[in-house]
């Protein structure tokens, strides 16, 4: 199983890195593939705390979770390369940019809740990873909105994975401290 996961990880992160290209993490200039790797690291640690967890699915979805939203990658390409289940999970994690901005997160959360719990776990892991110190150009209102959005994610997906729910709850508490920076 470990060799299989290593192969899946290597093939998937290579694809994701090629697709994200020169994209950087907002506010710090670090290559975006580091974010993808960090989300996947949360998933890898989750397996130690979670029974009956489809690690191959979760690793692939973690590494690809932004590829439809942030790159020129098309759904059919993802489907051909990674299969229906991975593509469906990534699609659920992709915000629908046709909807008004204020509706996109709740729409995505509704679609995530129709997916296997591993997809829920990826969304929790993604927000945990994103609750780093906010970019310096964010004002207090943006920081508060981001924290409040994290709380909505927690409230909606906390039953998907107890370990990651507790991690997110803790990160939200730490992030609240940055609001008074």
| Residue ranges covered by each domain of the chain | 2-178
- pLDDT reading at 65 higher than 80: yes
Query: Which segment of 25-29, 80-84, 106-110, 115-119 scores lowest on mean pLDDT?
Result: 25-29
**Residue 177 token pair:** 């401290």
Cα separation, 148 vs 48, whole angstroms = 29
pLDDT cut 90: percent of the chain above it: 85
CB 125 within 8 A of CB 62: yes
The CATH number fitting domain 2-178, selected from 3.30.70.2860, 1.10.3210.10, 3.40.1710.10, 3.40.50.1820: 1.10.3210.10
Which residues have a Cβ under 8 Å from the Cβ of 98 and sit 6 or more positions away?
none
- pLDDT reading at 137 higher than 90: no
pLDDT cut 70: percent of the chain above it: 97
- pLDDT reading at 181 higher than 60: no
Q: What is the mean pLDDT of residues 127-135?
A: 91
CB 44 within 8 A of CB 125: no
Cα separation, 179 vs 20, whole angstroms = 30
pTM (predicted TM-score): 0.95
CB 84 within 8 A of CB 94: no
């Amino acid at each position: 199983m470990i060799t299989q996961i290593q192969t899946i990880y290597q093939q998937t992160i290579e694809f994701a890195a090629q697709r994200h290209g020169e994209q950087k993490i907002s506010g710090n200039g670090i290559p975006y593939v580091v974010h993808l790797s960090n989300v996947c690291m949360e998933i890898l640690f989750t397996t130690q705390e979670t029974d009956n967890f489809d690690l191959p699915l979760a690793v692939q979805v973690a590494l690809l979770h932004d590829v439809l939203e942030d790159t020129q990658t098309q759904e059919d390409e993802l489907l051909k390369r990674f299969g229906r289940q991975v593509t469906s999970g990534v699609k659920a994690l992709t915000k629908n940019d046709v909807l008004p901005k204020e509706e996109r997160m709740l729409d995505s959360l509704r679609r995530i809740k129709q997916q296997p719990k591993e997809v829920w776990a990826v969304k929790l892991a993604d927000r945990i990873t994103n609750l780093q110190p906010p970019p310096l150009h964010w004002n207090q209102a943006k920081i508060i909105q981001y924290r409040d959005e994290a709380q909505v994610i927690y409230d909606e997906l906390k039953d998907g994975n107890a370990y990651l729910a507790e991690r997110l709850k803790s990160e939200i508490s730490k992030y609240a401290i940055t609001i008074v920076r």
